[in-house]
Structure 1
Amino acid sequence: MPKRLFIYPIITFVGILILCSSIVQLFNEINKQSREQALSFASSAIAQALQQQIVVGIASTSMLEATLRLADFDTSDFESWGAEILSTNPSVSTVQLAPKGVVRQIYPMSGHEKAVGHDLLADPRRLRAAMDAIQEQRLTMVGPLRLIQNNRMAIIARKPVMQKVGGQEVFWGFSIALIYIEDLVGKAMHRLDPVKWSYRLEGDNPDTPELKLIAKSETNVGPNAKEFPVHVPNGVWKLTVDMVDDTVVFMNQYLLYLMVFIVACFATAFVFYLEKKSYRQSLALRQLNAELQEARDELSRDNILKDKFFSILAHDMRNPFQSMMLVTELINQHADKMSKEEIITKVGRIHLIGERMVELLENLLEWAGGQLGTQDLQIEQLDLNEMIQGNVELVRPLVERKGVMLKTDQQTSVAYGNPHAVQTALRNLMNNAIKFTPEKGQIEVKTRPYDGGVAIIVGDNGVGMTPDQMKNIFALDEKTSTAGTSGEKGTGLGLPLSCELLEKSGAKMVVESEAGKGSIFRIILPQGPKAEY
């Protein structure tokens, strides 16, 4: 029989035994390290929790002393002090005042009635600690000890309170905080599962040099338990923490190897199942993130549109209101000198401006609806003559006030576009022409055939623009605002928003300008309903 028939099975058998043995040893080592880390972490966390609770509890004696001094040593409101101190220091069970070393006031009183009248300076068991505190004028802590009033274990913090009498510091008494051991330990140990953990806490006993058992779990700690010091003001406590050993001990080592091998196979299958499930969840999460990002983008877009809407509203409504204010100011100042016909004319102009403002608001709402997807930017046949004349009437008060000349010349009266987009752009161009044209300057609004379409031309002989200024006048993310020739202010949003509206409605805007000689803006519209620029 060939040797390979025996060699391969032997190699396979030995290999599986070595692999299983290595896995078991590795598992035991990892388990040992994890156990050590868990014990160290738990011991440290519990010790810190105990120390913190004790420190916070002891600090309540200082709070009580401070409150007593603020009340000029009048203790009539002691119960309200105690309630407030206990509400902010949950680790403290009671607070007490002991004038001349005799306990007189306790909060809460229930269960502590026997302690009233206890003279700390006359009790041999408490005299040494009390006198040390008075002589050194420092806070001291005693315990754990058993209380005379209810036989419960507690630690007690005493702070001597000194009162200035006749220019000298005189002992007034003690401010005392009492912390029950069972409450202290219970709060620190509440996170430990009693089935998996065991502990033992020992501390200094002021009545005997021996370490006293403070608290322990129902299950005793084992020989591999972790010890950790708990530093308290009057000494060091010893905390011992252990994990209950729930490892299954197999009687047959070969059966353990076999079970490890089988468990590894099942574990591999289970990990494959988990990975497959995790992959599916990852795909679903990516899809959800994509939908969430889409929703964020849509929300960001809506916020940008909202900002644009309010910017357009503020920009386009300002000038009509200014025109209306100019007319009403004129009437207000010169009404007694005006004839009835002049007043009627002025009021008629106010009415016309009001109609234009209502029309402007409707157009703005229509535009906002189109931007938000609730309405489309409708392309309509436009009466350019009516549109230009309406805007001329709207800005006439500004023209008269500034003293510039405004002329119109329409050779073409019909074109196609969105009424609001064209109105917004034309109104903005006329307002800018007035803004940047000095007194006695000239502004001309005209229509001309242009490259197979119609151009609304707004020209002026004002300040004009440099090439650098012209680069960004249509960029919405590069807002630039320049004061007018009479100090007029703007937002820098008018031209970019007007250009955007025109482009969305199939039109466009172009500019020619030279510094010191003026500017010429053209709104180029198609002559047909489906043409675009």
Structure 2
Amino acid sequence: MNYLAEKKSVLIVDDQPQNLQLAATVLNPYYRLLFAHNASLALQAAEEKLPDLILLDIMMPDMSGYEVCILLKENETTKHIPIIFLSAKADEMDILEAYSCGGQDYVTKPFRPKELIARIDAHISLKVQREKIDRMNQELLASNNQRDKLISFISHDLRSSLKSAYELLKSTLEKYANLSQQQQVLQLEKSCGTLAHTLELQMELLTWAKNQLGKRHFHFDYIEIPGTFEKVLHQLQHQLKAKEITVHMEAPSSQLVYGNPTMFNTIMRNLLSNAIKFSKQKSEIVLSFQLIDEFAEISVKDQGVGIANKHFTDLFKADSNFSTQGTHGEKGMGLGLDLCQEFVTKMGGKIWVKSELKKGSQFFFTVPLHPIVMEKTNA
């Protein structure tokens, strides 16, 4: 009996109509049947229909069953389909050749119906289990890749933020003795503020990492644009000061968008950090905002080194090897941009870039204004 949960498909290949009819009578109650009366039709049906199993005769006029089996096993599309030879030839050498060319089993004619069904069930069940294991291996590999990406991303952002906190404290200590008491308090307040932002960033990233690895649902809420801009600028103030870069904000005094706060902050921080890296000394970065239909379009524009058109698509690929240094030798290019794209997509938006070599780059991304827009976009 066939105990599989659903009817699986079996391709029966035989050049004798009476043999096809006999096999169909026995197997029809248990399987979805496909038929081919020669080798050419068998190869075509196997590739187009992808049956769960093939019953293959050996003696056929245009090509032997052995040759058909070899061709099926050499084809990437059909090589995993189990093949049972069903033949009147019972010689030991014939059976050995059937196994050597890739067959999984051999049944002699006249066959016993229950035995044939049992063997078909066994091989289809093995195929189903093998496919399940392959899927699990792929999921495990994807999980490991995601974990590695998370570690790289978190270490990148934390290193950048901790470097800012360290540089501020170092500067404070160097100047501390020459500062007035009021100035000392202000410098310490700035240091505490920077460390507080670093701690907040760490908590954000760890929460996000838990969500990613645990496949939990992300929390979405309304996000204030001006407040986020100010927060990110504060986190990167020392990189800005080191290059004497001014930031011009073209944003309303109050505007809300809908998304995940950690994702949104991370996108802004990465885009602005990259803009700083590739900006020239004493140049300007522009943060702009505009409403387009049901979305907010946000952009970060610099006057830096620019990017060649041929590299645009590589910027957002996790497996891309594209890399270059910043204007002060800063490491990397685009670390986190693939994650920015992932975040923007999860929030229902898009991300893209415009750039010209030696003239600068402008990164754009969109965010929905309301929950219903995000739901429609991700549907």
TM-score where L is the length of structure 1: 0.47
Instruction: Name the SS for the 1:439 alignment partner.
Output: coil
Deviation at 1:462, TM superposition (A): 1.4
Instruction: Say whether 1:301 aligns with 2:142.
Output: yes
Q: What is the aligned partner in structure 1 of residue 307 from structure 2? A: 465
Can you list the C-alpha shifts for 1:318-340, whole angstroms capped at 9, x where unaligned? 22112112102212322211223
Deviation at 1:471, TM superposition (A): 3.1
Aligned length: 270
Q: Is the 8 A contact 2:221 2:260 kept in 1?
A: yes
**Which residues in structure 2 correspond to 1:121-200 (within 5 Å)?**
none
Instruction: Say whether 1:522 aligns with 2:371.
Output: no
Task: Specify the structure having the higher radius of gyration (Cα).
Answer: 1
Instruction: Say whether 1:354 aligns with 2:354.
Output: no
Can you list the C-alpha shifts for 1:109-148, whole angstroms capped at 9, x where unaligned? xxxxxxxxxxxxxxxxxxxxxxxxxxxxxxxxxxxxxxxx
Instruction: Name the SS for the 1:483 alignment partner.
Output: coil
State the distance in 1 between where 2:280 and 2:353 align. Answer: 20
Instruction: Say whether 1:399 aligns with 2:214.
Output: no
Instruction: Name the SS for the 2:217 alignment partner.
Output: coil
**Which residues in structure 2 correspond to 1:65-76 (within 5 Å)?**
none
Instruction: Name the SS for the 1:330 alignment partner.
Output: helix
Q: CA distance change for structure 1 residues 268 and 479 in 2, over 3 Å: closer, same or farther? A: closer
Q: Is the 8 A contact 2:347 2:367 kept in 1?
A: no
Instruction: Say whether 1:328 aligns with 2:169.
Output: yes
Q: What is the aligned partner in structure 2 of residue 187 from structure 1? A: none
Instruction: Name the SS for the 2:199 alignment partner.
Output: helix
Deviation at 1:379, TM superposition (A): 2.2
Q: What is the aligned partner in structure 1 of residue 180 from structure 2? A: 339
State the distance in 1 between where 2:226 and 2:177 align. Answer: 36
Instruction: Say whether 1:439 aligns with 2:281.
Output: yes
Q: What is the aligned partner in structure 2 of residue 154 from structure 1? A: none
1:315 to 156, 166, 169: 156
Unaligned residue ranges in structure 1 (runs of 5+)? 1-26, 31-266
Deviation at 1:373, TM superposition (A): 4.9
Q: What is the aligned partner in structure 2 of residue 390 from structure 1? A: 231
Q: What is the aligned partner in structure 2 of residue 454 from structure 1? A: 296
Instruction: Name the SS for the 2:169 alignment partner.
Output: helix
Can you list the C-alpha shifts for 1:392-438, whole angstroms capped at 9, x where unaligned? 11111111112222232322521111112111110011111110111
State the distance in 2 between where 1:309 and 1:407 align. Answer: 32
Instruction: Name the SS for the 1:530 alignment partner.
Output: helix
Deviation at 1:368, TM superposition (A): 2.7
Instruction: Say whether 1:418 aligns with 2:253.
Output: no
Deviation at 1:272, TM superposition (A): 6.4
- What amino acid sits opposite 1:379 in the alignment? F
State the distance in 1 between where 2:302 and 2:109 align. Answer: 83
Q: Is the 8 A contact 1:366 1:375 kept in 2?
A: no
Instruction: Say whether 1:483 aligns with 2:331.
Output: no
Instruction: Say whether 1:511 aligns with 2:349.
Output: no
**Which residues in structure 2 correspond to 1:193-208 (within 5 Å)?**
none
Q: Is the 8 A contact 1:404 1:439 kept in 2?
A: yes
- What amino acid sits opposite 1:296 in the alignment? N
Q: Is the 8 A contact 2:294 2:373 kept in 1?
A: no
Deviation at 1:382, TM superposition (A): 0.2
Deviation at 1:275, TM superposition (A): 4.5
Can you list the C-alpha shifts for 1:370-391, whole angstroms capped at 9, x where unaligned? 3335421222100111111111
Instruction: Name the SS for the 1:457 alignment partner.
Output: strand
Q: What is the aligned partner in structure 1 of residue 121 from structure 2? A: 280
Q: Is the 8 A contact 2:259 2:368 kept in 1?
A: yes
- What amino acid sits opposite 1:434 in the alignment? I
Q: What is the aligned partner in structure 2 of residue 366 from structure 1? A: 207
Instruction: Name the SS for the 1:472 alignment partner.
Output: helix
State the distance in 2 between where 1:522 and 1:385 align. Answer: 17
Instruction: Name the SS for the 2:258 alignment partner.
Output: strand
Q: What is the aligned partner in structure 1 of residue 131 from structure 2? A: 290
Q: Is the 8 A contact 2:143 2:213 kept in 1?
A: yes
Deviation at 1:526, TM superposition (A): 1.4
State the distance in 2 between where 1:434 and 1:297 align. Answer: 38
Instruction: Name the SS for the 2:323 alignment partner.
Output: coil
Unaligned residue ranges in structure 2 (runs of 5+)? 1-89, 93-107
Deviation at 1:355, TM superposition (A): 2.4
Q: Is the 8 A contact 1:413 1:447 kept in 2?
A: no
Instruction: Name the SS for the 1:473 alignment partner.
Output: helix
Q: Is the 8 A contact 2:325 2:332 kept in 1?
A: yes
Deviation at 1:456, TM superposition (A): 2.2
**Which residues in structure 2 correspond to 1:227-246 (within 5 Å)?**
none
Q: CA distance change for structure 1 residues 359 and 508 in 2, over 3 Å: closer, same or farther? A: farther
State the distance in 1 between where 2:212 and 2:170 align. Answer: 37
- What amino acid sits opposite 2:266 in the alignment? T
Instruction: Say whether 1:495 aligns with 2:337.
Output: yes
Instruction: Name the SS for the 2:175 alignment partner.
Output: helix
Instruction: Name the SS for the 1:400 alignment partner.
Output: helix
More strand by share: 1
Instruction: Say whether 1:430 aligns with 2:272.
Output: yes
- What amino acid sits opposite 2:259 in the alignment? G
Q: CA distance change for structure 1 residues 345 and 445 in 2, over 3 Å: closer, same or farther? A: farther
Taking every aligned residue pair, what percent have the same amino acid on both sides? 27
Instruction: Name the SS for the 2:338 alignment partner.
Output: helix
Q: Is the 8 A contact 2:280 2:327 kept in 1?
A: yes
Which fold has the larger relative contact order, with Cα–Cα distance below 8 Å and residues 6 or more apart in sequence? Answer: 2
Q: Which runs of 4+ in 1 moved over 6 A?
A: 267-272
**Which residues in structure 2 correspond to 1:254-265 (within 5 Å)?**
none
Deviation at 1:268, TM superposition (A): 8.2
State the distance in 2 between where 1:350 and 1:269 align. Answer: 88
**Which residues in structure 2 correspond to 1:46-125 (within 5 Å)?**
none
Can you list the C-alpha shifts for 1:191-225, whole angstroms capped at 9, x where unaligned? xxxxxxxxxxxxxxxxxxxxxxxxxxxxxxxxxxx
